[in-house]
Amino acid sequence: MNSEKTKKTSSPQYKWFLICILIGVVSGSASAFFLVALEWVTQIREKNNWIIWLLPIGGLLIGLGYHYWGKSVVKGNNLLLEEYENPQKIIPLKMAPLIFFGTLITHLFGGSAGREGTAVQMGGAIADQFTKLFQLDASERKTILILGISAGFASIFGTPLAGALFALEVVYFSKINFKTILLSFFVAYIAYFTVELWQVKHTHYAILFVPEISFMTLFWVLLASILFGLAAMLFSRSTHFWGHLFSKTISFSPLRPFVGGCIIALAVYFIGTTKYIGLGIPMIVDAFSNPNTSYDFLLKILFTGFTLGAGFKGGEVTPLFFVGATLGSTLSLIVPLPIALLAGMGFVAVFSGATHTPIACTVMGMELFGIESGIFIGLACTIAYLSSGSVGIYNAQIVRGAKFHLYQKLKRKNTDFL
């Protein structure tokens, strides 16, 4: 009798242990393969700059693919958030190959996009397939979606702690129990080590010097962080603006990336540089040691918002890293703080403001740059989060927490004043 009772209570634990291993290994392997493929297409593009003239054709292929086969998954990350808040039906597995090939085409021919959206969507779609296999209910399905997001994010950036927290924080810990928190960390590390086993390397950054904390240091941190928050606001609103403009002016969706591709190719030709397309990793790395020009971050916002708004595929996070790092690098010309520290602060702070995830971004900063810069990173992420407005890159994300209460108070004060 006791043995039967023990078996019944322990069986769910074994079930989730197995689910985490499956999601972590499969999602981590998918991310590893994606990172290798992304590096391959990036090298092809950089060695053959003329290929950008084929961007309209690539855009048309992406548009047609989603028009005929991907209408149910075209919302991407927003679909994951919508299904978490209001579970309806299992996310089709076709989301994974569609976003995988769509992102590779975008980067091969010269669109400006990231990679986190791809990994998160692959992770979410893969994870949700276990809902039916293990006969999970609606509450358990929410846990599955968090595990997919956690595995995808952790594996693509090599930051398991931030990946686990991002998955929890992006839904603002809504109806999350302690078990889900533990599972999110567990699956993040499995996905992370899976990429390591495949011997796929992530980009490394360094902040070599951190100044002592003083009143003036904190003043400059506050000022820079507000600017990071405003940059995050501009990025989010730019992406939404271009998306709305394309959907309003071009009714046949496959034509949107075709027209957008034509404009991007012409823009790259006339400005005479390709540094604002693709991921922009070399520019990000350089920003930690050499000051950028004042317009680099603005052009990246423009190119990325236009690319994604036109219907090309990829993520927003690496471009957010680019925007933050180059803005921080530029600010080093007038702000008396080390250039690497400002670039690192901007790197995660702009991401924090655009995704409403200051905790995950603070942890990510410490994972990437070292715990020594943790106080500066934490302040930058928090201030940028509060100063970036209520609109983020994910339309379906429900804004709660400190930012929500702050803007509600400001709204009430403005109403009373009027």
pLDDT (tens digit, 0 to 9) for every residue of the chain, 418 residues total? 444 444 444 457 789 999 999 999 999 999 999 999 999 999 999 999 999 999 999 999 999 999 999 999 999 999 999 999 888 899 999 999 999 999 999 999 999 999 999 999 999 999 999 999 999 998 899 999 999 999 999 999 999 999 999 999 998 866 678 889 999 999 999 999 999 999 999 998 999 999 999 999 999 999 999 999 999 999 999 999 999 999 999 999 999 999 999 999 999 999 999 999 999 999 999 999 999 999 999 999 999 999 999 999 999 999 999 999 999 999 999 999 999 999 999 999 999 999 999 999 999 999 999 999 999 999 999 999 999 998 899 988 877 666 665 665 655 565 554 4
What is the rounded distance in angstroms from the CA atom of residue 152 to the CA atom of residue 126? 10
Q: In CATH terms, are 8-197 and 215-405 the same topology?
A: yes
Q: In CATH, what class is 8-197?
A: mainly alpha
Nearest to 107 by CA among 58, 164, 172, 162: 58
Q: Are 279 and 42 in contact (CB under 8 A)?
A: yes
Q: Which pLDDT belongs to residue 402?
A: 62
Per the CB < 8 A criterion, the answer to whether 267 and 299 are in contact is no
How far is Cα 7 from Cα 209, in angstroms, rounded to an integer? 54
- At 242-298, the pLDDT tens digits run 999 999 999 999 999 999 999 999 999 999 999 999 999 999 999 999 999 999 999
The token pair at 53 is 């003239």
CATH superfamily of the domain spanning 215-405: Clc chloride channel (1.10.3080.10)
Dist CA 397 CA 221 (whole Å): 28
pLDDT score of 5: 45
Tokens of 166: 């991002």
Domain locations in the chain as residue ranges: 8-197, 215-405
